[in-house]
Amino acid sequence: MEQIFNNLDQGIIIIDKCGKILMGNDSIVSKLEFSKCEVVGLNIKEIICKDDSITNEVMSNLSMYIQRKSKIKLYSKSGKKKVFNVTVGKEEWKGQDAFYFILDEDILSTNYTKADLERILDEIPYGIWVKNLNGKYVYVNKKYAEIFHKEKCDILLCTDYEIWHENNSDYFKGIDDEVVKFKKPILEQHKFYGAVNEECWFETYKAPLLNKNNEVKYTMGISRDITLSKRLEEELARSHKNMITLNSMITTSDYDAEAVINNIKYDLINRLKADGVSVWIYENGCSKLKPKITFGLSEKFINDIPYVRISKEQFSNMSNWPKDGVIPIEDRFIRQNLIKDLKGEGVKYSGLYRIAFNGEIIGVVHTLYKDNNIYSIKNDDFIKTMCNHFGMIIKNDMLSKDIKCELSKRKEAEEELQLFLDTAVDLVAIVAYDRSFLRVNSGWTDILGWSEEELYSMNSYDIVHPDDIKLTEDIVEELKEKKKLRGVVNRYIAKNGDIHWIEWSSRYIPERQISICTGRDITKLREAEEQKETYEQALALEKVKSEFFSNISHEFKTPLNIILTTMQLIMKNIGSNNQSIDEASILRYMNSIRQNSFRLLKLVNNLIDITKIDAGYYEIHLENQNIVSVVEDITISVAGYMEEKGMELVFDTDVEEEIIACDTDKIERIMLNLLSNAVKYTSKDGKIQVHLKSEDKDIIISVSDDGIGIEEEKIDKIFERFVQVKNNLTRMCEGSGIGLSLVKSLVEMHGGSINVESEFSKGTTFTIRLPKKVLEDGRYSMESKDMSNSKVEKCSIEFSDIYN
């Protein structure tokens, strides 16, 4: 009998009438931590809890409690209180009256059977199993059997090798062995391929079950399907990778939260066993809750609901939110909006779960159920975990989109700047204080042909044109002083040896001792400008020449016409035997022919002289002469002419005699030219003065008039060849515009110079400076040559273009 008692799970204590313990079975002895012999002989009163009224009640009225269930509290050997359900019996034990206590350790104050326990374990959404030391399953719950799409009984007494793939089984066995060997629990995650070859992840807690001798009797395990979290984790890792690889984020446009959630949508809908799932995100900017992802039934009606308008306060205010979870569809405000008339589809329940991140609600997950599927709607905790993940993914996505946007804006701005730099300037360089290049743009290669490496390995002055080194040093000094410089130009040598003109705008940053320089290649511009200048000069010369030729032909034509018509007149008179033609008329005609012939002669002379000077074989014949008398003589020779014109001519000199080496002929040409101009451009009652004075090294001869003068802007040009200053007044006189240029050449041949001062409408003064040089071996002719005749002729020639 005692043997039987020892095999029971329940504890058995047998006492005699006085309370002395006659027997305690194995179960109770171990529960109270005594050894068998210690228990036998003890009085039950020594181990009952005397403070407990129920226990006292039972113990003092044992007969009353026979076959009645009650509770009793006992102390273990170490003094721990233990509660037992107790049933009292009265029987004979080894020939004497005795009371039996049948003791069940009280757990929930209810009596659970093994079947109850199994039912509970079957409800748990985790796979639970127990294996014996041979690796055979001695217990599995329903969830665990479902993993293999099997019944519980199909798995019992099988090993892993009979239900898992061999690789998995080896792995599991390894872990089980470890648990047994070290008598310690292990938590492990394991990937495997399910019945339809789908990838699954499980997390299993494995622990040893020990017997009272601390030996491993069984191994047990609790397995949880973590496939979905794993997939999310992988997606999160991917998004994280994208986050940190900012560059790739700009180029990979395919990543977003919707894609991540879409990737797991079938897992999610399977797991939830819902008929429809939608994920809604709240957009703060427009106060709208918008559906982002829809599966199953939810897909059907989402097109009708582009958004639900909810104010930010209403959306984020917790009091508007009932507890997350599944309830009948009629119930809630937000839900009403999210499901509309879905009743037609047979939807009866809906689940609503907040997606929150960092305390802020950013959206909701909405599930739809056609019927009250207890299993499905018991998944709240799982969904909440999912929602947290969603929160992270969505925030992550929003953040990455913001960053992407910012980066692309920045990139755009940078590109614009680069474009601007590339188009606005040709060269960009950052130059260090030691003249080395710190940074260069592509222009240096495109324009000058130097590669970046070449430039970085040399000094910036190495490619400056040697003649511009000093200039460049000065520019750099100025830049350091002023911090900014614009429009400075120097030359650079290209790799192929070409010279480039670069115009720089530079900035000096003293704190970093660097100069930032932007340059424009103006070589072509310069060349074009130079060409333009030469071209313009040539054009101007051509213009002057053509003007000259039209003038000169006019100059030739006018006297020739006069001569021809006069001669025609004479011929006519002779031919008609006209007696009326008197001597005076003939003389007048002849004078006119003479004057105009002289005018032609002057022109021809001037042209010949100019041509000779240009060709370089015009000669002057220097003689030591008294310049004072040469000038005086020629002046006086035109005095009569002036008088005739009603003009006053004054000759005045500070020196009586000054011997210098000169060509009398040429001096006369000079003087006659200046005097004839003075007459030409002076009115009738005008005054002309010739003045001579001697200075240290020079003789100064000036010819002044009080005539029309020369306009200021034209004054520089009158000595130029072919120039005829045109104004209305000059029209009254004739001229070829080569007289003064000849005068200048003649003066310069004497080693002298000529200049002019004039005030418009007041008068003009020409001043000649001749050096007081004499010919060493030259003799001085005391007498001036009698050239009165030739002088008169010269005057006539030079004055021939002046008409009365």
Pick the binder of ligand ADP from 463, 493, 710, 715 (CB under 6 A): 710
Contact in structure between 639 and 788 (CB atoms under 8 Å): no
CB of 270 closer than 8 Å to CB of 375: no
Task: State the Cα–Cα distance between residues 728 and 678, nearest whole angstrom.
Answer: 17
363 touching ligand ADP, by CB under 6 A: no
Nearest CA among 310, 345, 312, 352 for reference residue 331:
352
Binding mask 404-433 for ligand ADP (x = CB under 6 A): ------------------------------
Check residue 223 for interaction with ligand ADP (CB under 6 A): no
> CA-to-CA distance for 177 and 476, rounded, in angstroms?
82
Distance from C-alpha of 618 to C-alpha of 742, rounded to nearest angstrom:
11
CB-nearer residue toward ligand ADP: 156 or 725: 725
**707 binds ligand ADP per the rule CB under 6 A:** yes
CB of 679 to ligand ADP, least distance (A): 9
Angle at 707 between CA 702 and CA 712, to 5 degrees: 80
**Rounded CA gap, 470 and 464, in Å?**
10
State which H helix or E strand residue 693 sits in: strand 687-694
Which of these segments, 440-448, 492-500, 656-664, 718-726, binds ligand ADP (CB under 6 A)? Answer: 718-726
Exactly one of 730, 757, 772, 793 binds ligand ADP (CB under 6 A); that residue is: 730
Instruction: Using CB under 6 A, pick the residue from 88, 305, 718, 747 that binds ligand ADP.
Output: 718
Alpha helix ranges (H) inside 88-226: 114-123, 142-147, 152-155, 160-163, 166-182
Beta-strand pair 349-357/325-328:
antiparallel
CB of 725 to ligand ADP, least distance (A): 3
Helix, strand, coil abundance in the chain, percent, nearest 5: 45, 25, 25
Q: How far is the CB of 487 from ligand ADP (least distance, A)?
A: 40
Which one of residues 705, 715, 744, 754 is an interface residue with ligand ADP (CB under 6 A)? 705
Candidate segments 34-42, 110-118, 575-583, 733-741, binder of ligand ADP by CB under 6 A: 733-741
12 makes contact with ligand ADP (CB under 6 A)? no
Q: How far is the CB of 699 from ligand ADP (least distance, A)?
A: 21
- Residue 467 or 685: the one with the smaller Cβ distance to ligand ADP is 685
Distance of alpha carbon 388 from its chain centroid, rounded?
A: 37
Shortest spacing between CB 686 and ligand ADP, in angstroms: 10
The amino acid present at 5, given as its one-letter code, is F
Looking at beta carbons only, is 635 or 764 nearer to ligand ADP? 764
* Binding segment toward ligand ADP, per CB under 6 A, in 118-126, 375-383, 460-468, 701-709: 701-709
Q: How far is the CB of 724 from ligand ADP (least distance, A)?
A: 4
CB of 545 to ligand ADP, least distance (A): 15
Nearer to ligand ADP, 242 or 724 (CB): 724
Q: How far is the CB of 464 from ligand ADP (least distance, A)?
A: 48
- 739 makes contact with ligand ADP (CB under 6 A): yes
Closest distance to ligand ADP from the beta carbon of 716 (Å): 11
Q: Which of 648, 729, 738 is nearest to 687 (CA)?
A: 648
Residue entry with tokens 């034209």: 714
Between 75 and 760, CB nearer to ligand ADP: 760
Asked whether position 724 contacts ligand ADP by CB under 6 A, the answer is yes
In the set 737, 750, 752, 770, which binds ligand ADP (CB under 6 A)? 737
Residue 315 phi, psi (nearest 5): -70, -40
CB of 593 to ligand ADP, least distance (A): 22
Pairwise CA distance, residues 198 & 54, whole Å: 58
Q: How many residues bind ligand ADP (CB under 6 A)?
A: 20
Closest CB 639 distance from ligand ADP, rounded Å: 18
Least Å from the CB of residue 484 to ligand ADP: 49
- Euclidean distance between CA atoms 638 and 792, whole angstroms: 8
Would you say 491 and 467 are in contact if contact means Cβ atoms under 8 Å apart? yes
Distance spanning both ends of the chain, measured CA to CA: 177
Q: Would you say 361 and 395 are in contact if contact means Cβ atoms under 8 Å apart?
A: no
Max CA-CA distance within the chain? 210
Q: How far is the CB of 709 from ligand ADP (least distance, A)?
A: 6
Range 753-792, binding ligand ADP (CB under 6 A): 764
706 binds ligand ADP (CB under 6 A): no
Which span sits near ligand ADP by CB under 6 A: 178-186, 535-543, 630-638, 729-737?
729-737
Q: Where are the beta strands (DSSP E) in 162-275?
A: 186-193, 199-210, 216-225
Q: Closest CB to ligand ADP among 169 and 702?
A: 702
Residues 635, 642 contacting (CB under 8 angstroms): no
Stretch of 101-109, 478-486, 704-712, 783-791 contacting ligand ADP, by CB under 6 A: 704-712
Interface positions, 69-108, toward ligand ADP (CB under 6 A):
none
Instruction: Name 494's Cβ contacts closer than 8 Å, sequence gap at least 6.
Output: 447, 448, 449, 450, 500
Query: What's the min distance (Å) between Cβ of 574 and ligand ADP?
Result: 36
Nearer to ligand ADP among residue 389 and residue 721 (C-beta): 721
Which range in 363-371, 435-443, 609-617, 717-725 contacts ligand ADP by CB under 6 A?
Answer: 717-725
Q: How far apart are CA 253 and CA 263, in angstroms?
A: 16
**In the complex, minimum distance from the CB of residue 499 to ligand ADP, in angstroms, rounded to a whole number:** 42
555 binds ligand ADP (CB under 6 A): no
d(CA 691, CA 688): 10
725 part of the interface to ligand ADP, by CB under 6 A: yes
Which residues, 6+ apart, have CB-to-CB distance to 17 below 8 Å?
97, 98, 99
Q: How far is the CB of 541 from ligand ADP (least distance, A)?
A: 17
Distance between CA atoms of residues 103 and 85, nearest Å: 6
Contact window for ligand ADP (CB under 6 A) among 15-23, 76-84, 218-226, 707-715 = 707-715
In the numeric block, the tokens 């074009």 are attached to 528
DSSP β-ladder status, 276-283 and 288-296: antiparallel
Euclidean distance between CA atoms 208 and 181, whole angstroms: 9
What is the number of alpha carbons within 13 Å of residue 444 lying toward its C-beta? 19
Give the tokens for residue 748.
């310069």
The residue behind tokens 């001519």 is 649
CB of residue 732 vs ligand ADP: minimum separation in angstroms?
11
Instruction: Give the C-alpha separation, 39 to 225, whole Å.
Output: 48
Letters for 661-700 (x = contact with ligand ADP by CB under 6 A, - = none) are ----------------xx--x-------------------
Select the residue whose beta carbon is closest to ligand ADP and give its number: 735
| CA 398 centroid distance within chain | 23
Residues forming contacts to ligand ADP in the complex (CB under 6 A) are 677-678, 681, 705, 707-710, 718, 724-725, 730, 735-741, 764
